[in-house]
Amino acid sequence: MLFQPDGQCRATKALELTQHYPAPGRVEHDAREIWEKTLAVTRAVIAEAGGAEKIAAIGITNQRETVVFWDRETGEPLSPAIVWQDRRTAATCRDLKEAGNEPMVQAKTGLLLDPYFSGSKIGWAMQNWPEVKAAGKRLAVGTVESWLIWKLTANENRGGLHITDATNASRTALMAIGSGNWDDGLIDLFGAPRAALPEIVDCAGSFGETTLFGAAIPICGIAGDQQAATIGQSCLKVGETKATFGTGAFVLSQAGPTPPTSRNRLLSTIVWQLDGRRAYALEGSVFVAGSLIKWLRDEVGLIGSAAETEALAHSVADNGGVYCVPALSGLGAPWWEPDARGSISGLSFSTGKAHIVRAALEAMAHQAHDLKTAFAADGVDWKSVRIDGGMVANNWMAQDMADILGVCVERPKFAETTALGAAMLAGIGCGLFADLAAASVMRGAVETFEPQIAADARDARLDGWRAAVQRVIAAP
């Protein structure tokens, strides 16, 4: 995406990545494909800008926790990338939890012992992929922004920069979020290769430059996708909350300069680091959101496109008693049940395609309500929610979110706030903006959705949802 300093998106180009499912619970990407398609779309957008000399800076945002293994000498991947949704280390995390390690991990990282985070993935690769283990000093390990920065800054004379920003580092379960440094105890716990990890840097600054596009362009902004969306939504004051509905759904509430502590299985995470100073957020993570609609389209064939879901939801008066629990890769917060599997329940001969699709959309508000309850129990109840991500273009879903949460839902006119946040950080890093408050001019106009549903109807929906979730959790 190409942005002007006023937030106007001047050009966009996208290519879909292939997601691989080599076995149940396993999710992989081809790191080479990530790089090649990133290179292709970047070239296309730079051409629309009129050439590399027109670009002030590059900002990068990425799927957090997805981890790449590559060779420092050749710059080539040594294995598939293990995606954040991957559950192959569920047994390892369970064993570590049963051994009493989770309180220590949570105290140091703000995270829980779950295969979602990168640390156990890295340890698994070191044990199970000979090419990774045998690489020795040639091995580089990093999340997707590290991989892209390496490739952008490498040339025929030297390898690339090996860096990660503090937000992505905070999602590995290898970083102590209070100090902002890699932690040797955590590295040993998961069996990660210390020498292969990147240097941790701020989210904005001058991080080298790329010369791949005809003229040098500095790389000046880096943040994981959910932190970038929080910045793009201008959640700068304590308590301001955003919810992103992309592949998964992620809610972050601004917590200020002190790491928050959750007693309700939410996460404490770094939301940005600027000039060496960190700000923190409380986070709830849902593993399946937009990927559920993609599954209904690609695997089940129930819809031809995501755009059809809004009209289908409107075409029936209610869900007809159908509930969808989208645990296709386990249940995230506040349940943290990695072995849970999805369900569609309440089917009868009167059930039609529209009821199932509506139930899938309703699951977004149901999962968000579970998180709202946990946030409130931790003392951070939501007064309003700023929503974004690809799914929220669906007006029916945005209104349903307001109805079930019982608060005002605010949607920016430009919903791709993850990319916008990366652009804001790049603007700070290259000197276009003095700080995040100044960069917030890029956010632009918003529209609001107010609750309209009756309280008894909301309660009935939520009662049915809770029963459906309990059946999934209780299933063998």
Residue 304 belongs to a domain: no
pTM, two decimals, is 0.84
Residue 416's identity, in one-letter code, is E
CATH code of residue 15: 3.30.420.40
Residue 49 belongs to a domain: yes
Residue 471 belongs to a domain: no
Residue 75 belongs to a domain: yes
| pLDDT (tens place) for every residue of the chain, 476 residues total | 999 999 999 999 999 999 999 998 899 999 999 999 999 999 999 999 999 999 999 999 999 999 999 999 999 999 999 998 898 999 999 999 999 999 999 999 999 898 989 999 999 999 999 999 999 999 999 999 999 999 999 987 678 999 999 999 999 999 999 899 999 999 999 999 999 999 999 999 999 999 999 999 999 999 999 999 999 999 998 889 999 898 889 899 998 898 888 888 888 999 999 999 999 999 998 889 999 999 999 999 999 999 999 999 999 999 999 999 999 888 887 888 878 899 999 999 999 999 999 999 999 999 999 999 999 888 888 889 999 888 898 999 999 999 999 999 999 988 888 999 999 999 999 999 999 999 999 988 899 999 999 999 999 999 999 999 999 888 76
> How would you class 411 by CB atoms within 10 Å of its CB: exposed for 0-12, middle for 13-18, buried for 19 or more?
buried
Place of tokens 């759904």: 249
Residue 76 belongs to a domain: yes
Token pair, residue 228, equals 């970038």
Interior CA angle at 249 toward 108 and 451, to 5°?
120
Q: Please tell me the distance from the alpha carbon of residue 145 to that of residue 167, in angstroms, as a whole number.
A: 11
- Residue 46, H or E segment: helix 31-49
State how many domains the chain has.
1
The parent domain of residue 38 ranges over 2-224
Q: Please tell me the distance from the alpha carbon of residue 373 to that of residue 380, in angstroms, as a whole number.
A: 9
Query: How many contiguous H segments (helices) and E segments (strands) does the chain have?
Result: 16, 22
Residue 12 belongs to a domain: yes
